[in-house]
């Protein structure tokens, strides 16, 4: 299955085609309010899958509109959704839950993936352990099918809303006529715009409580239009509403003779949110490579933009290799042409090395390729984002390693004010620079939601910690290439007759890192080895003198030292690194810089109580007296290694014996 809903395998990266607009426009509203009979009781007996298949068949030709509702319960959101569903005979959620694999298969036939994904997408969210509370509801009228994402308005709202909004083309923003625009309205509208939704229905609700006064309505609409203009929301349809009484909800109301626009449902049925994806350059993110036997090699995926015909010249990204399309293969036979939204398998005239996660693009309008970006990020984890820490970045079917290289500013989602920040907390949004370990094919989110959005995944817990949108590529690394050198690491190591290593001592302050590293150094040196010690205290006097002891600074401290240690092993040295290095993630990052067997993690294990008793530098006493903030073990965490190469318990052996164990390990 290629795509999902919301934060599924790649969260925001899943913007499905919602092919609304094509030939679905109507000329008037005279038939408004008429609904498709979808009484669950009247279904033929059989599995839920049969019912869904029937339903989809019946509605195959109709376009689909995905939308989201924003606002709190008080604003009338539940009433609005409840009434819409009631009036259009909703498909009950418990029946959704009953859908089995069978029905999913039905659902994915004929390119109609929507219904199956409802279930599939949510299941995947659960698998990932993300607690996102978004209910997707499905309903239809004679003119159109709808999926509405209902996000409950509690404290995790930003995250929930982003999930729901990521695949939506329209947002219904509810405002209480008595209260006008609230901070919350601004926040929701900001997220709506951030996620590329261009159409808003401003539902000014509870008009009955202000006597259906057109002045109240006009004032609110005027204010909202100002906000929408600032946020770049292009289309706003304002509707005076009483969700409770149904005024202007599914049909226009006699209570607002001064209002000439459509009811909410009429607008939803007819609004054209189409960005004609078929007219753009071809984009086929490759979901899998289909190679059933020697003579067939096809690249399968759902076309996210553009169209393709046999004979078209394509370019595989990021490699940039070109070829021509030979066949467009589908389960129902070969096609003469395929367009955005269709799931196809392409075969090519040449043997190109294309793998899952690559993008096949039209040669005339290829997507860009880059490894550094300016991006918006919504942080969704209780543990803060720290620049420099490495995460998995998942975009489409591609997973790479990435880190935030710089937080430009965070954005107050209530006021849109830009604030300085060195870390990001739960639900915060920021504009950042991102660095990837390899180039990817991408598009700006505003041009292609699928190729322009990503999620970050914690490498240790596998939890999805952020969702983001790519704004543009940073060109800074474009002209920097690896300079090949003739005397390489192996040659240098051989000259020194040793295996280069990075011996990484980690432990609390005063645990004994420096003492043991120093003894190891002396012994190795005496044995004729070429060594060097990198010690936290020393490096912090020079290279890292701009860094303090916040989590963010420690991450950067370790990143730099790991890079320096790497250069030193390239020079053929045995490097002894002695830093507290309190976080597992950064020690892992350091490990990954080195080849197999080169990195030796040494846990200098001294209980806090003992380190504090020794208090070599008197720092613990100061920290306890509140004179040193963020002191490791006191008010800053230390994450002990889980499987270090060496575990030295300093209460059990003296420094000399422990140093000997390290030397033996290295020479063993």
Ligand X SMILES: Nc1ncnc2c1ncn2[C@@H]1O[C@H](COP(=O)(O)OS(=O)(=O)O)[C@@H](OP(=O)(O)O)[C@H]1O
In the complex, the residues that contact ligand X under the rule CB under 6 A are 509-510, 514, 536-537, 540, 549, 554, 557-558, 579-582, 617, 619, 628, 630-632, 636
Residue reference for tokens 């569903």: 85
Q: Determine which residue in the list 350, 425, 478, 654 makes contact with ligand ADP, applying CB under 6 A.
A: 654
- The residue from 42, 355, 581, 643 that is catalytic is 581
CA distances from 67 to 85, 173, 200, 509 (A): 13, 11, 9, 54
8 A C-beta contact, residue 159 and residue 145: no
Q: Which residues have a Cβ under 8 Å from the Cβ of 148 and sit 6 or more positions away?
A: 66, 67, 68, 69, 81, 84, 136, 137, 139
Query: Residue count at the site for ligand ADP (CB under 6 A)?
Result: 17
Nearest residue to 159 via CA among 319, 271, 11: 11
State the Cα–Cα distance between residues 402 and 437, nearest whole angstrom: 6
Q: With CB cut-offs between 5 and 8 Å by kind, which of ligand X, ligand ADP, none does residue 581 bind?
A: ligand X
Q: For residues 599-618, which are near ligand ADP according to CB under 6 A?
A: 614, 616
Q: What is the DSSP letter of 207?
A: G
Q: For residues 488-507, which are near ligand ADP according to CB under 6 A?
A: 507
State the Cα–Cα distance between residues 651 and 633, nearest whole angstrom: 18
Counting contacts by CB under 6 A, is residue 514 touching ligand ADP? yes
Cβ-proximal residue to ligand ADP, closest one: 512
Token code pair at residue 32 = 């408004």
Nearest residue to 189 via CA among 228, 225, 157: 228
Q: With CB cut-offs between 5 and 8 Å by kind, which of ligand ADP, ligand X, none does residue 515 bind?
A: ligand ADP
State the Cα–Cα distance between residues 203 and 242, nearest whole angstrom: 9
Counting contacts by CB under 6 A, is residue 161 touching ligand ADP? no
Counting contacts by CB under 6 A, is residue 478 touching ligand ADP? no
Strands of the sheet with 599-605, listed across from one edge:
531-535, 574-578, 501-506, 599-605, 646-649
Q: For residues 319-358, which are near ligand ADP according to CB under 6 A?
A: none
Q: Is 581 a catalytic residue?
A: yes
Q: With CB cut-offs between 5 and 8 Å by kind, which of ligand ADP, ligand X, none does residue 579 bind?
A: ligand X
CA distances from 122 to 82, 129, 130 (A): 21, 11, 10
Q: With CB cut-offs between 5 and 8 Å by kind, which of ligand ADP, ligand X, none does residue 628 bind?
A: ligand X
Minimum CB separation from ligand X for residue 616, in Å? 7
Nearest residue to 6 via CA among 186, 135, 154, 99: 135
Counting contacts by CB under 6 A, is residue 658 touching ligand ADP? yes
Cis peptide bond prior to 441, omega within 30° of 0: no
Minimum CB separation from ligand ADP for residue 516, in Å? 5
Counting contacts by CB under 6 A, is residue 581 touching ligand ADP? no
State the Cα–Cα distance between residues 337 and 520, nearest whole angstrom: 69
Counting contacts by CB under 6 A, is residue 655 touching ligand ADP? yes
Q: With CB cut-offs between 5 and 8 Å by kind, which of ligand ADP, ligand X, none does residue 516 bind?
A: ligand ADP
Counting contacts by CB under 6 A, is residue 582 touching ligand ADP? no
8 A C-beta contact, residue 604 and residue 578: no
Q: Determine which residue in the list 145, 513, 540, 554 makes contact with ligand ADP, applying CB under 6 A.
A: 513
Q: What is the DSSP letter of 278?
A: G
Q: With CB cut-offs between 5 and 8 Å by kind, which of ligand ADP, ligand X, none does residue 8 bind?
A: none
Nearer to ligand ADP, 86 or 617 (CB): 617
- Which residues are identified as catalytic? 581
Q: Which residues bind ligand ADP (CB under 6 A)?
A: 507, 509-516, 578, 614, 616, 650, 653-655, 658
């Amino acid at each position: 299955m290629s795509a999902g809903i919301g934060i599924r395998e790649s969260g925001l990266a899943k913007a499905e085609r919602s092919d609304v607009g094509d030939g679905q426009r109507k000329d008037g509203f005279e038939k408004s309010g008429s609904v498709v009979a979808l009484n669950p009781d009247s279904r033929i007996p059989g599995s839920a899958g049969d019912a869904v298949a029937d339903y989809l068949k019946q509605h195959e030709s109709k376009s689909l509109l995905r939308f989201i509702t924003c606002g709190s319960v008080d604003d009338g959101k539940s009433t609005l959704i409840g009434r819409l569903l009631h009036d259009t005979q909703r498909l009950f959620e418990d029946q959704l839950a009953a859908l089995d694999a069978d029905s999913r298969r039905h659902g994915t036939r004929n390119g109609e993936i929507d219904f199956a994904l409802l279930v599939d997408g949510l299941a995947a969210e659960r698998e990932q352990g993300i607690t996102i509370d978004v209910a997707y509801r499905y309903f239809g009228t004679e003119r159109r099918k709808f999926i509405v994402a209902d996000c409950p308005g509690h404290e995790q709202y930003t995250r929930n809303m982003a999930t729901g909004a990521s695949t939506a083309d329209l947002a219904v923003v509810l405002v209480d006529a008595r209260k006008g625009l609230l901070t919350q309205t601004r926040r929701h509208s900001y997220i709506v715009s951030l996620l590329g939704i261009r159409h808003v229905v401003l539902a000014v609700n509870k008009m009955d409580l202000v006597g259906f006064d057109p002045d109240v309505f006009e004032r609110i609409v005027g204010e909202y239009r100002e906000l929408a203009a600032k946020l770049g929301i292009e289309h706003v349809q304002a509707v005076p509403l009483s969700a409770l009484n149904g005024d202007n909800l599914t049909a226009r109301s006699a209570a607002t003779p001064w209002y000439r626009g459509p009811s909410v449902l009429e607008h939803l049925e007819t609004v054209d949110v189409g960005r004609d994806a078929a007219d753009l350059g071809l984009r086929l993110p490759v979901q899998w490579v289909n190679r059933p036997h020697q003579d067939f090699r096809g690249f399968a995926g759902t076309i996210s933009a553009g169209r393709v015909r046999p004979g078209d010249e394509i370019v595989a990204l990021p490699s940039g290799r070109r070829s021509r399309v030979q066949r467009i293969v589908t389960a129902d036979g070969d096609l003469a042409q395929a367009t955005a939204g269709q799931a196809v398998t392409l075969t090519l005239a040449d043997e190109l090395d294309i793998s899952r996660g690559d993008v096949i693009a039209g040669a005339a309008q290829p997507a860009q390729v880059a490894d550094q970006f300016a991006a918006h990020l919504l942080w969704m984890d209780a543990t803060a984002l720290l620049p420099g820490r490495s995460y998995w970045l998942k975009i489409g079917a591609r997973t790479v390693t990435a880190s935030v290289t710089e937080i430009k500013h965070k954005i107050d989602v209530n006021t849109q004010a830009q604030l300085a920040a060195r870390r990001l907390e739960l639900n915060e949004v920021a504009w950042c620079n991102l660095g990837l370990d390899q180039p990817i094919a991408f598009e700006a989110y505003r041009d292609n939601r699928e190729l322009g959005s990503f999620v970050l995944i914690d490498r240790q817990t596998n939890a999805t910690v952020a969702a983001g949108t790519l704004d543009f590529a940073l060109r800074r690394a474009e002209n920097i290439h690896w300079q090949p050198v003739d005397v390489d690491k192996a040659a240098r190591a051989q000259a020194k007759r040793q295996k280069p290593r990075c011996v990484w001592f980690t432990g609390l302050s005063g645990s004994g890192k420096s003492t043991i590293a120093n003894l190891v150094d002396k012994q190795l040196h005496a044995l004729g080895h070429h060594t060097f010690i990198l010690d936290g205290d020393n490096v912090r006097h020079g290279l890292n003198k701009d860094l303090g002891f916040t989590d963010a600074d420690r991450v950067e401290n370790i990143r730099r030292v790991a890079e320096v240690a790497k250069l030193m092993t390239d020079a053929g040295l045995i490097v002894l690194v002695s830093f507290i290095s309190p976080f597992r993630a950064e020690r892992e990052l350091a490990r990954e810089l080195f080849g197999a067997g080169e990195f030796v993690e040494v846990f200098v294990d001294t209980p806090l109580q003992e380190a504090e008793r020794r208090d070599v530098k008197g720092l613990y006493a100061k920290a306890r007296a509140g004179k040193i903030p963020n002191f490791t073990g006191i008010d800053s965490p230390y994450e002990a290694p889980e499987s270090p190469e060496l575990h030295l318990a300093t209460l059990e052996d003296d420094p000399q014996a422990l140093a000997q164990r390290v030397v033996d390990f290295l020479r063993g």
